Amino acid sequence: MIDRSEPKLISGNSNGPLANAIARRMSLHRGMSVSLVDARVERFNDGEVFVEVYENVRGEDMFIIQSTSKPANDHLMELLIIADALKRSSAARITAVIPYFGYARQDRRTKARTPISAKLVANMITQAGIERILTLDLHAAQIQGFFDIPVDNLYAAPVFALDVKHNFRGRLQDVTIVSPDVGGVARARELAKRVGCALAIVDKRREKPGEVAEMTVIGDVKGKTCIIVDDICDTAGTLCKAAEVLMEAGATEVHSYITHGVLSGPAVGRITNSVMKSLVITDSIAPTEAVQAAPNIRIVPTAPMFAQGILNTWKGTSVSSLFDTETLMPIYEGLYSE
């Protein structure tokens, strides 16, 4: 542990509400006021990012809270330039808290002459002076290996397990957890194991990105309450189609739990008009007004988990303890009661 009085938080413009919520949670944990470092992150007239930190950060343990969500390039540059400003101001250590890690879907070469953008972004973050990453549900676990610095990848599954047990109490025996594709089976199996439910898979075949040619349900979902689990929902086309296929296969109702609600383009409209009874997302990406107003979209907070993760990183204690549902229950007290 770095011998400093308190960890210091600074935020870009990507998710101000989450950054403030993390600061409030840390204030509760520390029994004293924890606020964001006073700084300005603005644009020049030509769109260049400008950062100025108004407080002394020399020798401090700094945590930058910044999702690289839409507009991804702008928010990524904010993260890099904030890190550079802190490094040149002699901060002792810089940790990037990235609730949503953009470019993670470009983690391998799927065909000739394509980039591995996730690796490029990892190099940029490391070169900016960031010494540690704290993130949530990376799209692919191997992205941790793209970094030459420590990466703590938290999971939404323990929080989702608390939510499922709370909202489906008394009928868990009729719940089936569903993976929307073969690649997400491990994620769905993990949640199914935590809540003690059966597992099914929706096998899909894509003809080209963004389009689904055919879907088949693997497993028995007749008469079941199906919960689709995935890490990212972008335009929601695949998700809504999967819900329809499950209903056609005999499911009584369909819900979805998605970590990162990108929800771009027609997504909110599709979800509102779909057969899904509810979509649960986290606040890793700042929700738009349309998302907040949607009647069947609900947001689960991540501030308690990130606040504890930051404190554990600062104190040099285990971050992996946050992988357990039992560990998270006390810090989510009041939200999920037994």
Alpha helices for 196-262 (secondary structure H): 237-248
Q: What is the pLDDT of residue 246?
A: 96
CATH 3.40.50.300 assigned to domain 8-156+303-331? The reply is no
Mean pLDDT of 288-304: 96
Q: What is the pLDDT of residue 211?
A: 58
Q: What is the pLDDT of residue 206?
A: 62
23 Cβ contact list (under 8 Å, min separation 6): 9, 34, 35, 36
Question: Is there a shared CATH topology between the 8-156+303-331 domain and the 157-300 domain?
Answer: yes
Residue pair 17/36 in contact (Cβ under 8 Å)? The answer is no
Q: Annotated binding residues for Mg(2+), as ranges?
A: 139, 181
Q: Annotated binding residues for D-ribose 5-phosphate, as ranges?
A: 206, 230, 234-238
pLDDT over threshold 60, residue 338:
no
Alpha-carbon distance 23 to 299, whole Å? 19
Q: Is 204 one of the catalytic residues?
A: yes
Residue 111 has which token pair?
Answer: 């065909």
How high is the mean pLDDT of the chain? 93
Alpha-carbon distance 165 to 17, whole Å? 27
Give the model confidence (pLDDT) of 129-163 as tens digits: 999 999 999 998 899 999 999 999 999 999 999 99
Q: What percent of the chain has pLDDT over 90?
A: 83
Q: What is the pLDDT of residue 28?
A: 86
Mean pLDDT of 244-256: 96
Q: What is the pLDDT of residue 33?
A: 84
Q: What is the pLDDT of residue 4?
A: 53
Q: Annotated binding residues, as ranges?
A: 46-48, 105-106, 139, 181, 206, 230, 234-238
Does residue 215 sit in helix, strand or coil?
A: strand
Query: Residue for token digits 């397990």?
Result: 161
Overall CATH class of domain 157-300: alpha beta
Residue 184 has which token pair?
Answer: 């997400």
Give the model confidence (pLDDT) of 178-234 as tens digits: 999 888 999 999 999 999 999 999 987 766 655 556 888 999 999 999 999 999 999
Residue pair 38/55 in contact (Cβ under 8 Å)? The answer is yes
Tell me, what amino acid is at 220?
D
Pairing of strands 278-282, 253-261: parallel
pLDDT over threshold 50, residue 1:
no
Give the model confidence (pLDDT) of 29-73 as tens digits: 887 888 999 999 999 999 999 999 999 999 999 999 999 999 999
Q: What is the pLDDT of residue 331?
A: 85
| pLDDT band at residue 297 using 50, 70 and 90 as cut-offs | very high
Domain boundaries, the chain: 8-156+303-331, 157-300
Q: What percent of the chain has pLDDT over 70?
A: 95
Q: What is the pLDDT of residue 128?
A: 97
Query: Annotated catalytic residue: which of 111, 204, 222, 241?
Result: 204
